[in-house]
Amino acid sequence: MNVMDIVLPGLILGAMGLVFGLVLAFASKRFSVQKDERVERVREVLPGANCGACGYAGCDAFAEAVVKGEASVNGCTVGKAPVAKKVAEIMGKEANEGDDKIAFVRCHGALGDVKAKSAYSGLANCQAASDVNGGNLACRFACLGLGDCERACPFDAIHVKNGLAVVDRGKCTGCGACVAACPRSVIDMIPAKGYIAVACRNTDPGKAVRAVCSRGCIDCKICEKKCQYDAIHVPAGLATVSYDKCVGCGACVEGCPTKVIVDFGGKAEAVPAGA
């Protein structure tokens, strides 16, 4: 075997490798997708929580969706209005104000307020308790208080106190993780700028509500009669707030006999009805 028998195959392989490399380099340049520089700019102003509350798999995916026009500039619930404003500036758009939402527990029945229908000694989570005959509480709308929402929250913004989930408004980002985790649908997202909220979901007749809970909405309609702004009504047995009309006068809060309507965001300065 002479030297060329060894060297020639190596030269051929080297030449083939060079050719393939040049072809790949050309193809990479020729068919590459140019990334919009706005994606990186949007990504830089996002908080980096990667919580998925925007509906995308992290901040990178959300930034790409915004630039493609698939996601709203207001889509980051963690960053809220300040981040929405920055994203809107990058995209040359306007951010809608007043869209921020916050979690609210639609139940006021702490331990002693809601009657128990049975004992429960299973797994300490709401889903498991709910799977056993609908839970151990007599009210089928009540918070079970076993902390599925607390464990799901990535921001330490909700905790179970005295058998009832309570939201820390200062920490809540409106990501909705607690809403998804609750098997009883007790938690809702409501406007962060809302003044009041109804801490009950029970649509049963008043007599039936009284039989299971001392803190439920009893369909008395006192709130509806007290409100000068047509901002609260009691359809289907449950008080419901129209946030576009509510001025935070507090009349419904003061008039509610079971105190199920709570002063959620602080009272606004009352103005004359019809003004």
What span, in angstroms and rounded, lies between the C-alpha atoms of 234 and 126? 29
pTM above 0.85?
A: no
Instruction: Answer whether CATH 3.30.70.20 is correct for domain 203-275.
Output: yes
Q: What are the structure tokens assigned to 181, written together?
A: 């985790």
Q: What are the structure tokens assigned to 164, written together?
A: 């009832």
Phi, psi of 3 (to 5 degrees): -65, -35
pLDDT digits (tens, 9 = 90+) for 118-153: 888 888 999 999 998 888 999 999 999 999 999 999
Phi, psi of 8 (to 5 degrees): -60, -50
What span, in angstroms and rounded, lies between the C-alpha atoms of 138 and 140? 6
Q: Which amino acid is at 89?
A: E
pLDDT digits (tens, 9 = 90+) for 175-214: 889 999 999 999 999 888 888 999 999 999 999 999 999 9
Domain range summary for the chain, segments of one domain joined by +? 37-91, 100-192, 203-275
Positive or negative torsion for Cα 63, 69, 74, 77: negative
| Pairing verdict, β 232-233 and 240-241 | antiparallel
- Identical fold for domains 100-192 and 203-275, yes or no, is yes
Instruction: Answer whether CATH 3.90.950.10 is correct for domain 100-192.
Output: no
Residue 88 clears pLDDT 50, i.e. is over it:
yes
Q: What are the structure tokens assigned to 114, written together?
A: 């809601």
CA distances from 53 to 173, 174, 184, 257, 266 (A): 9, 8, 20, 37, 27
Three-state SS at 83: helix
Q: What are the structure tokens assigned to 208, written together?
A: 């039936």
- The architecture (CATH level 2) of 37-91 comes to Orthogonal Bundle (1.10)
